[in-house]
Amino acid sequence: MKELRDILRALGEGHAQGAPMALATVVHVEGSAYRREGAKLLLSPKGEMVGSISAGCLEGDVLEWTRHVLESGTPMLRHYDLTSEDELVWGFGMGCNGRIEVWIEPLALAQPYLERAREVFERERAVAVATLIGVSEGSALNPGSKLLIPADERPSGTLGDIALDAAVERDARALLETGRSKTVVYESTHLGSAAWVGEARVFIDCFLPPPHLVVFGAGADAVPLVRFAKEAGFRITVVDHRPRFVTPDRFPWADRLILAHPEEASDRLALTRGMYVVLLTHNFHVDVKLLAWLLASPVEYIGLLGPRERRELLLRNLREQGIEPSPEGMRKLYAPVGLDIGAEGPEQIALSIVSEILAVKNRRAGTFLRERQKPIHAD
């Protein structure tokens, strides 16, 4: 999601003004690869790039084909087979043992949909962009056609056939629930369409709003946490009652600063799904009030600084007030906060907290990758 923001920012800053550019997107992966479906790279013929689709090994070849795409004005699909022993000879040498398909299109074709996605994105609504990337020979459908499917609005655009549009819309709405981008193959006979024949390959690209991190407390330990989380693609809100701490100079990475006592933030902050919360107030009584609010909320994660003994004292205090946290509330309470990496100091602790939040968000255990039996990116 940060990558998409970077590309949209580049477009907004005029990188594409006066010069043709292309957008390359990973649309299919089999086996192991550095990037997954949906990874993007904005390129100019001069070699200017924003984003990435590999560890740096595919970009050179994609750049060469970008020039062909811009000269012809026609999008194309490139196939990279990195399972072959000859990949070292070809100059990739990635050792990823996977097959990757990259869709390269003139930015002029993609930009209107990216801009529309930006509008939906800024309103914190999910959106899918479906692109026709392959058709059977002789098909009446045109590769490069697009259909935009906002989560809470009617679709716009067309892939060239009503039945295909309807099937893609159905699948896109299901994929938006997971946030996963995917290439889907449709058969004209299965859809009962007479407007085209054979197969249609459609890449459904899902854009979800960035996850929202709320940090209560603006002390020294909050500064690296906010910085690292922003780099990891989070939208950030910081809440504190001290004017000299809650400033843009101190938190240039924050999207929103709330000057208020943390326990009074409920008047200015709605807690929702997709929200992750970390308590860095260093104040026992404030944390009691915040936990009473947060444990009954729909947030995904509550990180609490301090040892287990402090956590138990806080929970005991809640129970003495007649507040019994639900099993669901306790499930999302992470205290002590952070992964066990032996962290010392604000920066290392912040790194362990962001890592734990990412593990929770991505439903991973946060263990060593060398102990994982499945491919790194497999569900």
**Token digits for 91?**
């100059």
Pair (142, 79) in one structural domain: no
Pair (13, 100) in one structural domain: yes
Domain boundary among 207, 239, 273: 207
In a domain, 260, yes or no: yes
Higher pLDDT, residue 13 or 327? 327
Q: Which tens digit of pLDDT belongs to each residue from 178-195?
A: 889 999 999 988 888 777
Instruction: Look at residue 89 in the predicted model and tell me its pLDDT.
Output: 43
Rounded mean pLDDT, 135-140: 87
In a domain, 343, yes or no: yes
Taking alpha carbons only, the member of 80, 77, 110 closest to residue 97 is 80
Which CATH number do you get for residue 247? 3.40.50.720
Pair (226, 347) in one structural domain: yes
Element (H, E) at 117: helix 107-122
Element (H, E) at 4: helix 2-12
**Token digits for 131?**
């692109």
Instruction: Kindly give, in sequence order, each residue whose CB lies less than 8 Å from that of residue 328, ignoring residues fewer than 6 positions away.
Output: none
Strands 98-106 and 146-150, by their bridges, are unpaired
Rounded mean pLDDT, 69-86: 84
In a domain, 198, yes or no: yes
Taking alpha carbons only, the member of 235, 238, 236 closest to residue 220 is 238
Q: How far is it, in rounded angstroms, from Cα 81 to Cα 96?
A: 10
- 104: β partners: 24, 76
Share of residues in the chain with pLDDT > 70 (%):
92
Pair (200, 237) in one structural domain: no
DSSP letters along 191-232, please? HT-SS--SEEEEEEEEE-PPPEEEEE--STTHHHHHHHHHHT
Omega before 211 cis (within 30°)? no
- CA count, 13 A, side-chain hemisphere, 74: 8
Domain boundary among 207, 229, 256: 207
Taking alpha carbons only, the member of 170, 172, 163, 173 closest to residue 200 is 163
Q: How far is it, in rounded angstroms, from Cα 44 to Cα 95?
A: 27
**Residue 144 region by backbone torsions, left for phi larger than 0, else alpha for psi between -120 and 50, else beta:** left
Instruction: Look at residue 85 in the predicted model and tell me its pLDDT.
Output: 57
Pair (236, 223) in one structural domain: yes
Q: How far is it, in rounded angstroms, from Cα 191 to Cα 187?
A: 6
First-residue to last-residue Cα distance in the chain = 19
In a domain, 37, yes or no: yes
- Asked if 84 and 106 touch (Cβ cutoff 8 Å), the reply is no
Domain boundary among 110, 143, 164: 110
- Asked if 62 and 43 touch (Cβ cutoff 8 Å), the reply is yes
Q: Please tell me the total count of domains within the chain.
A: 3
Instruction: Look at residue 378 in the predicted model and tell me its pLDDT.
Output: 62
Residue whose structure tokens are 């007479």: 194
Local confidence band at 372 (pLDDT 50, 70, 90 cut-offs): confident
Pair (353, 221) in one structural domain: yes
Q: Which tens digit of pLDDT belongs to each residue from 208-267?
A: 888 999 999 999 999 999 999 999 989 999 999 999 999 999 999 999 999 998 778 888
From residue 359, give the alpha-carbon distance in Å to each of 78, 112, 225.
32, 34, 16
In a domain, 105, yes or no: yes
Grouping H, G, I as helix, E, B as strand and the rest as coil, residue 135 is strand
Pair (165, 235) in one structural domain: no
Local confidence band at 129 (pLDDT 50, 70, 90 cut-offs): very high
Pair (147, 78) in one structural domain: no
Q: How far is it, in rounded angstroms, from Cα 249 to Cα 242?
A: 14
In a domain, 373, yes or no: no
Pair (275, 347) in one structural domain: yes
Local confidence band at 203 (pLDDT 50, 70, 90 cut-offs): very high
344-353 CB burial, b ≥16 within 10 A, e <16: eebeebbbbb
Q: Indicate the range of 9-23, 155-169, 188-202, 298-312 predicted with least confidence.
A: 9-23
Pair (141, 167) in one structural domain: yes
Local confidence band at 90 (pLDDT 50, 70, 90 cut-offs): very low
142: containing domain: 123-207
Pair (220, 357) in one structural domain: yes
Residue whose structure tokens are 């400033």: 247
Whether 92 has a pLDDT exceeding 70, the answer reads: no
In a domain, 378, yes or no: no
Whether 95 has a pLDDT exceeding 60, the answer reads: no
Taking alpha carbons only, the member of 345, 265, 355, 368 closest to residue 301 is 355
Instruction: Kindly give, in sequence order, each residue whose CB lies less than 8 Å from that of residue 305, ignoring residues fewer than 6 positions away.
Output: 221, 278, 279, 280, 282, 335, 336, 337
Pair (281, 186) in one structural domain: no
In a domain, 377, yes or no: no
